[in-house]
A and B are shown apart, each in its own frame.
Chain A
């Protein structure tokens, strides 16, 4: 099915471990982004990309790294996991520009850091 695929769906990490959350889309969208959602709160932007080879920081980038080597993939790396990074992570993609452009969200990755 077309859309945004996130893996894994669930993950438990120990403090200090590193890992990569995967995000792939097959809609040829230019824009991709990562958000985190803490309990009872809205989504906050971590990093985003407006095209292959281009990334930028969002509101809460510390502790995370991204790269965009292809249009389809936008992995999010946790360098050294901390309990404060326990959250649900959403990847989203969209066509660039203005107007009623649709943002397609993945189903989320629930990460727990112990």
Chain B
């Protein structure tokens, strides 16, 4: 079974609108962390936001927020007020103690922002 599933291979969003990128995960660990990374066309991996499994409040970092629904095992990324520079690949990843605290990545979502 996939550990991290991102069901949207590609998405379009109009500039200045909000967009939600989906991520579901599978783990038997009680303590785990969820991350979102952005990969622009230049190729580097840019950390966006983190949510711990015991965090009761959804994480926010500027225009990024994480909609964490633990019972449903989902950790969706919400980008508000999209900008042209947000066009990139977005990866959801999970860190599990049982996996040596290394990251497991989803397949990614390509976001394209339209002017």
Q: A residues bordering B, Cβ < 8 Å?
A: 31, 33, 35, 40-45, 48, 50, 56, 58-59, 88, 90, 92, 94, 96-100, 102-103, 105, 107-108
Contacts and interface: CB of A to CB of B under 8 A. Distances in A.
B104 interface: yes
B45 interface: yes
B100 A98 contact: no
Question: Lowest 3 A-B CB distances belong to which pairs?
Answer: A42-B105, A105-B45, A100-B50
A50 B47 CA distance: 21
Contacts of A31: 101-102
Given A40-B108, A48-B100, A88-B43, 15 more contacts: A31-B102, A33-B103, A35-B105, A45-B103, A45-B104, A48-B102, A59-B104, A92-B45, A92-B103, A96-B101, A98-B101, A103-B47, A105-B44, A105-B45, A108-B43
B47 A107 contact: no
B108 A42 contact: yes
Q: Kindly state the interface size class of chain B when it binds its partner.
A: 20 to 34
A43 B105 contact: yes
Interface in B33-64: 33, 35, 43-45, 47, 50, 52
Interface of B: 4, 6, 31, 33, 35, 43-45, 47, 50, 52, 91, 93, 97, 100-108
A43 to B, nearest CB: 5
17 contacts: A31-B102, A41-B108, A42-B6, A42-B91, A42-B108, A43-B93, A45-B103, A50-B100, A58-B102, A92-B103, A98-B31, A98-B97, A100-B33, A100-B50, A107-B43, A107-B44, A108-B43
A97 B102 CA distance: 10
A44 B105 contact: yes
A96 B4 CA distance: 22
A50 B102 CA distance: 9
Contacts of A56: 100
